[in-house]
Amino acid sequence: MAVVGVLTLELRLENSHSLKDKRNVVQSLKARLRNKFNVSVAEIDGQELWQRATVAAVTVSSSHEFAEKVLRSVEDEAAALLGSELADATVEWL
């Protein structure tokens, strides 16, 4: 049976002064995570806000352990890229 894991990342972009600034950070993060980990990534909330964003990364696997490893690696990469701008990260299993 397939396991679906969803990692939700809450971003607080204090140095963003426009939607364009925010879009650059979010698009760069999405592209990096897609390319490095082969996960689906989308901004799911806060699209109209300058200094906040919610991004979700999703993976599907036949192995819960593998899916968990992938999502933890994605979270670690996001933390390394964003530093203190990563406010929260949660994982849900479907």
Give pLDDT tens digits for 20-47. Answer: 999 999 999 999 999 999 999 999 999 9
- How many domains does the chain fold into? 1
Residue type, 19: L
Average per-residue pLDDT in the chain?
97
Residue 66's CATH number: 3.30.70.1120
Q: Sign of torsion, CA 21 23 29 31?
A: negative
- The pLDDT assigned to 60 comes to 98
- The pLDDT assigned to 1 comes to 86
Half-sphere exposure of 82 (CA within 13 A, CB side): 32
Structural domain for 39, as ranges: 3-93
| Model confidence, pTM | 0.94
User: Residue ranges of the chain with pLDDT lower than 50?
Assistant: none
